Chain A
Amino acid sequence: MCLAIPARVVQLLPGCRAVVDLAGVRKEVAIDLVPDAQLEDYVIVHVGYAIGKIDPVEAQRTLALFAELAQGVAQP
């Protein structure tokens, strides 16, 4: 139910609307809830509304966490 997907903003439209691109699929969504969205930003789209914006630096930081070694365990 809380299904939402990251999509790239490719066009800003008047009236708090924007066109987003999701792997080639383009769709118009409302950006009332993310009024500072800019071109090329990735927004999280839920039921036709952008509800949040992805911070690319934090995303990179999380990916780096995945590669960390186990804590307090000797690695071979």
Chain B
Amino acid sequence: MKYIDEFRDGDSARHIAANIAAEVRPDTSYSFMEFCGGHTHAISRYGISGMLPANVRMIHGPGCPVCVLPIGRVDLAIRLVMERGVMLCTYGDPMRVPASEGLSLIKAKARGADVRMVYSAADALDLAERHPDREVVFFAIGFETTTPPTALVIRDAKARAVNNFSVLCCHVLTPSAITHILESAEVRQFGTVPIDGFIGPAHVSIIIGSQPYEHFAEEYRKPVVITGFEPLDVMQGILMLVRQVNEGRAVVENEFSRVVTPKGNLAAQKRVSQVFELRESFEWRGLGEVPYSALKIRPAYAAWDAERKFDLHYASVPDHKQCECGAILRGVKRPADCKLFGTVCMPESPMGSCMVSNEGACAAHYSYGRFRDIAVVSA
């Protein structure tokens, strides 16, 4: 497929790997955080970490919307469908996120609750129009990539007066999460998470552009390379970060220039700001309450805001005691450091959110990397 196959070519990957190996300085260690789950998945699936020199380490970031969705938010959705009898629509990813009392949306569905998995937010609005006698709620999660489609369906719901439709908005923002990581004690004081640069988001940046990251490069002296999700993109992004570190530079560079522009998609930004406004604070799994890190629906669209319509109040719920998702999302621990990893927590029966989506650090390591550290014994 055009614009996919040529960015997955094995010979080119080996060529870029040789460039990285030739340019890294043996006396320097390079730790780069890939913010996005899409990059985490590519790094695991294509064996990219195995092609890097030993002194180049990739740290998985919190950029997986499913992974950072706190239990309390899933509980709100489950209560809506089980106690208030709504038809709850959502993307495939949130279906298996563990919630309170051993439940998840898919388990609620197994108990008879009307949970529908949709491909697009527009499908949820269609369901509402086809079932005027039912309350239909779209449980909306995702970063900036996924927010504009939600904004459009809320606009359409108002325009078409679909009054039995509402949205439980859990959309979160990338730049505030990166700031939170850079301000965290682990990075700033203890140095337990050394971050020498960021592989910047791919599809999020299509919407917001490359400019929002300039602050990180200037204020925190961290290089950022916006990078596509294909394996060659990731390899090239790592090479560009190595070069910035070697040259003592900290600027925003754009490897994904075939779609990402400095200002981003202005039409999409306009739609989003018409429908959404900043939330003062939002709880992220692993990061805790992060100020101004999420969106809520503007008062002009209050009739389509499930939180207002059903008078929902968020309550924080702690994670499973032994689950290390929080530390993994902050880059402090790796999946294999968690006692639950691969024993009771597996992709079919996730205990923590990082094992749910294939972009989660634990699921990616489980699917593609868990045998890598085990020595091969000849028979």
Do A53 and B259 form a contact, CB below 8 Å, given A1-B66, A2-B202, A3-B38?
Answer: yes
Do A66 and B232 form a contact, CB below 8 Å, given A47-B146, A54-B259?
Answer: yes
Per-residue 0/1 for A60-73: is the Cβ within 8 Å of any B Cβ (1 yes, 0 no)? 01110111111111
Query: Across the interface, do A70 and B23 meet the contact criterion of CB distance under 8 Å?
Result: yes
Give 19 A-B contacts (CB < 8 Å), ordered by A residue: A1-B91, A1-B141, A23-B1, A33-B152, A33-B268, A46-B146, A46-B203, A48-B119, A49-B120, A51-B265, A51-B268, A52-B206, A52-B207, A58-B257, A61-B257, A62-B257, A63-B7, A71-B23, A73-B22
Is B89 engaged at the interface, CB distance under 8 Å to the other chain? no
Within 8 A of A (CB), among B1-41: 1-4, 6-7, 12, 15-16, 18-19, 22-23, 36-38
Do A63 and B64 form a contact, CB below 8 Å, given A1-B359, A2-B36?
Answer: no
Is A44 engaged at the interface, CB distance under 8 Å to the other chain? yes
Query: Across the interface, do B258 and A58 meet the contact criterion of CB distance under 8 Å?
Result: yes
Query: How big is chain A's contact interface, by range?
Result: 35 or more
Q: Which of A49, A63, A71, A73 has the most CB of B within 10 A?
A: A49
Per-residue 0/1 for A19-46: is the Cβ within 8 Å of any B Cβ (1 yes, 0 no)? 0001100000010111100000010101
Per-residue 0/1 for B56-99: is the Cβ within 8 Å of any A Cβ (1 yes, 0 no)? 00000000111000000000000000000000000101000000
Total count of chain B residues near the partner, CB < 8 A = 58
How far does the alpha carbon of A58 sit from the alpha carbon of B260 in the complex, in Å?
10
Query: Across the interface, do B4 and A6 meet the contact criterion of CB distance under 8 Å?
Result: yes
Query: Across the interface, do A1 and B143 meet the contact criterion of CB distance under 8 Å?
Result: yes
Q: Which residues of A lie under 8 Å from residue B367 when comparing CB positions?
A: none
Per-residue 0/1 for B206-238: is the Cβ within 8 Å of any A Cβ (1 yes, 0 no)? 110000000000000000000011001100100
